[in-house]
Structure 1
Amino acid sequence: MGKGAQRSPAHMSEAEEKTTADVLIGGYLYDVASFKHPGGSIVKFLTNNGDATEAFEEFHGRSKKAQAMLRSLPKVAAPRDVLDAREGNGRTDLTRGYARLREEFAREGRFDPNRSEIVYRVGEVVLMHVVGAYLVLATGYAAAGIILLGLASGRCGWLMHEAGHYSLTGEISVDRALQELIYGVGCGMSGAWWRNQHNKHHATPQKLQHDVDLDTLPLVAFHAKIAARARSPLVKLWLRLQCYLFIPVSCLLVALGWQLYLHPRHALRTKRKRELACMALRYVLLFGVVLRGMDHPVWAYLAYNQVAASYIFTNFSLSHTHLPVTEADEFVHWVEYAAKHTTNISPSPLCNWWMANLNFQVEHHLFPAMPQFQHKHISPRVRAFFEAHGLVYDVRPYFSCLRQTLANLHAVGHSTKDD
């Protein structure tokens, strides 16, 4: 476990943990015992230990509503013993250095959206869909059209990710609406569900019982401690084969589970009519227009969906899944999460496009509210910052990282034991 990591105090009783709920932000303890976070249960990940200053600022820097809600909470100045134990999660040097680096980037306008980038990103997915639909409907290249539409759907996944971090236009209401439209029509999924779950991942990447990207059974297990939870012989057999099944099968099954059950259920339960309308429009356009004249539209849809799912999920898996995990009772500095539990993929014009600049995952985890086209520009200074603080700036070639990801799936799958 990394230097500076802290564990929950052993002297705190279970009763005290239930009645005490405070979050340390900017040197103040905020009482969140009665607070219901609009984004779900994420706040509980940062209560009663650790320092949530960077997490709050990165998640809510653009939100006046969040700032007002924070001001409305009961607070006290954190006593010296609390600051000594929790401030900066044991790495106040990182806190100060990170704050200086962030201020430097803010002065340079690195957090400001770019109108040309917005037009390019949105125009790209629209054009890809139009060309893909044309190939299916009006030419003899239907298979090529299906593949292009699948890639376009995957590109919608990258684009909605940007909007979901409010770094596309920088206007929260506009970005939310764009995310719901792009994710609903382009991928058949719920933006609200994604924001709820993805922010938990950003708050605590690779942390057991916290990072939802580790909670992937029964379809896949990225770490032996997750695989050890499997009890069914059938699930264990599946996990032993997961390195072969992940790209062609598991990614598709995850997408179908999200599209046909998890995301519509969330939208229904939370009464998100706009999201439901966007998801419904997707199937009207696909089955009522694009695939209508095909002999086997369902099979065509599955092929299209497989291209999209394997493209987006495989690329997302490269950045974390083969790296170490943090224990559930361990609190790690925001910067250390990016350094020790995240890897970059070597940049090139092709890779930057293929991964929509999210091959710079270290920069993205440090500054999730920064427009992603800026990551390549700040990368050298982030590397220098890491080296100055004794941290490794992890960069790996694309196919090397893919091999490591699949090798990890193989090793984890074979770590299970028959009862």
Structure 2
Amino acid sequence: MGSSTDCGRHRFFTWNEVQKHCTRSDRWLVINRKVYDISEFSKKHPGGARVIGHYAGQDATDPFTAFHIDKTLVNKYLNSLLIGELAPDQPSLESWKSKEVTEDFRELRATLERTDLLQPNKLFFAGLLAHILLLEAAAWLNLWYFGASLFPFLISSLLLSTVQAQSGWLQHDFGHLSVFSKSKWNHLVHKFIIGHLKGAPASWWNHLHFQHHAKPNCYRKDPDINMHPIFFVLGTKLPIEVGKQKKKFMPYQYQHKYFFLIGPPALLPLYFQWYIFYFAVTRKQWADLAWMVSFYIRIGLTYIPLLGIRGLLAMFFLVRFVESNWFVWVTQMNHIPMTIDHDQNEEWLTMQLHATCNVHQSFFNDWFTGHLNFQIEHHLFPTMPRHNYHKVAPLVRSLCAKHGLEYQSKALLTAFADIVHTGSCRNSKWGNEMSHSIPNAIRN
């Protein structure tokens, strides 16, 4: 079963042979049973070599479908990489259970594509941008009118922290190609929001975030759980494993116990703040660097006349501190309490359910988290506009119930508590709740 066969010009491969091609210099993957050699292409892959390389030797059908909005364009690249397909006697997936789950999930995906649930409401996103710009204007007007005394200073800092957090959620939408039908328009607005409104490079976000989505909570594949050197790997299982190997350097076996004390307040102001410049310069992302510089020029021209240089620096790092806590608690509440392990090569639906959980819907939760309280739906359908997550969630719950897969949803404070107590979402003693209401059709 480990060798390929030829049928005229067409080559047939077994899974045993495909799985051998999973090194940095030799990479094959499977999409819709067709086998592609991406060894050279991965170096030129627009999403980066790592995100596509994480599926070397594996089936990449569902992530390929999830990440690309223009399949016709992408297929032009794929055609030149095609080397054959799986032999007729080879299964598409390893087990019948995975096959049944995957077939039903793909049917759900096809249903969504036939409806308007993958189509964005552009007025919704325009409203989000407008409220961000209004908050930023209010922060400046507050200082201009009331002066730079302590109370107005703190009010403006809080307003600007909200601007930064909400801009972070909005750039996330454009980065996932969720707003426009053309990728280039999403990319352009993404650069404006993350670069000019936040001062970070779009290329850096793409490099990290798509790896996270491709293999969430997978050791050495998801950069969100690999924060070396302070946090070598997050979770409750692997820190103990690597801690025993590196006791003399850092107490990694205990890091899951102190992450919430160091990670949320320090990630943005002490780590990302300098690393984003390092990333842009070392990778020669000059356009991104120009967008970033425009942010700092704008902030300087706007606030130095009101606060002076020292006052601006104090406010800037206070804003980054508040934003960092906001960002880390929200983004990690859905992932850290879940399974973090080596890549188990699970099918798409099961992998995302093991790595993500939801937080109950409310107007505040939706706004506060940028709709990342629907983390399961976001991971399953990353290009779906966020205002539709609540519509597809009942269908996902129904699919999970059919196959006995656990769909986790909890209260916001419970989600925060699970980070502190590092309990599993599956066995949380802090009162996880699951909704069992399964409607029969999509609600408009």
Q: What TM-score range do you get, normalising by the shorter chain?
A: 0.7 to 0.9
Q: C-alpha distance in 1, partners of 2:22/2:72?
A: 33
One-letter identity of the residue aligned with 2:86: A
| 1:232-271 paired onto structure 2 within 5 Å | 235-236=250-251, 239=255, 241-247=258-264, 249-253=265-269, 256-261=270-275, 263-271=276-284
Does the Cα contact within 8 Å between 1:206 and 1:320 map onto a contact in 2? yes
Q: C-alpha distance in 2, partners of 1:158/1:214?
A: 20
* Cα displacement string for residues 155-198 of structure 1 (whole angstroms, at most 9, x for unaligned residues): 11100111000002232111111111111122221111111211
Of residues 151, 175, 187, the one that matches 2:198 is: 187
Counterpart residue number, 1:350? 364
Does the Cα contact within 8 Å between 1:219 and 1:250 map onto a contact in 2? no
Counterpart residue number, 1:25? 31
Does the Cα contact within 8 Å between 1:184 and 1:278 map onto a contact in 2? yes
RMSD: 2.7
Offset at 1:139? 1.9
Structure 1 segments, 4+ long, off by >4 Å, are 9-20, 87-90
Q: C-alpha distance in 2, partners of 1:311/1:264?
A: 22
Residues paired across the two proteins, number: 395
Offset at 1:341? 1.4
Which structure carries more relative contact order (alpha carbon 8 Å, separation 6+)?
1
Matched, 1:77 2:85: yes
Offset at 1:286? 1.8
Counterpart residue number, 1:341? 355
Matched, 1:276 2:283: no
Of residues 69, 88, 113, the one that matches 2:120 is: 113
Q: C-alpha distance in 1, partners of 2:130/2:168?
A: 14
| 1:16-415 paired onto structure 2 within 5 Å | 20-36=26-42, 37-40=45-48, 41-49=50-58, 51-62=59-70, 64-83=72-91, 86=93, 91-140=98-147, 141-220=152-231, 221-223=233-235, 224-226=237-239, 228-229=241-242, 231=246, 235-236=250-251, 239=255, 241-247=258-264, 249-253=265-269, 256-261=270-275, 263-294=276-307, 295-328=310-343, 330-408=344-422
Q: C-alpha distance in 2, partners of 1:70/1:286?
A: 44
Could you say what secondary structure the match of 1:331 adopts? coil
Change (3 A) 1:399 1:287: same
Change (3 A) 1:333 1:15: closer
Structure 2 unmatched ranges of 5 or more: 1-14, 424-444
Change (3 A) 1:30 1:81: same
Query: TM-score scaled by structure 1?
Result: 0.86
Name whichever of 179-188 and 226-235 sits farther off.
226-235
* Cα displacement string for residues 178-220 of structure 1 (whole angstroms, at most 9, x for unaligned residues): 1111111222211111112111111111111111111113333
Does the Cα contact within 8 Å between 1:315 and 1:355 map onto a contact in 2? yes
Does the Cα contact within 8 Å between 1:222 and 1:408 map onto a contact in 2? no
Q: Percent identity?
A: 22
Name whichever of 232-241 and 61-70 sits farther off.
232-241
Change (3 A) 1:297 1:61: closer
Counterpart residue number, 1:5? none
Change (3 A) 1:137 1:106: same
Could you say what secondary structure the match of 2:422 adopts? helix
Q: C-alpha distance in 2, partners of 1:318/1:207?
A: 16
Could you say what secondary structure the match of 1:146 adopts? helix
Counterpart residue number, 2:5? none
Q: C-alpha distance in 2, partners of 1:243/1:61?
A: 36
Q: C-alpha distance in 1, partners of 2:74/2:207?
A: 15
Offset at 1:222? 2.2
Does the Cα contact within 8 Å between 2:196 and 2:295 map onto a contact in 1? yes
Does the Cα contact within 8 Å between 1:136 and 1:291 map onto a contact in 2? no
Does the Cα contact within 8 Å between 1:89 and 1:332 map onto a contact in 2? no
* Cα displacement string for residues 99-127 of structure 1 (whole angstroms, at most 9, x for unaligned residues): 11111111111111112112112112111
Change (3 A) 1:88 1:348: farther
Q: C-alpha distance in 2, partners of 1:405/1:233?
A: 26
Change (3 A) 1:311 1:170: farther
One-letter identity of the residue aligned with 1:293: L
Could you say what secondary structure the match of 1:293 adopts? helix
Q: C-alpha distance in 1, partners of 2:36/2:146?
A: 62
One-letter identity of the residue aligned with 1:121: L
One-letter identity of the residue aligned with 2:259: Q
Does the Cα contact within 8 Å between 1:168 and 1:371 map onto a contact in 2? yes
Structure 1 unmatched ranges of 5 or more: 1-8, 410-419
* Cα displacement string for residues 300-334 of structure 1 (whole angstroms, at most 9, x for unaligned residues): 21101111121112100111111112323x20111
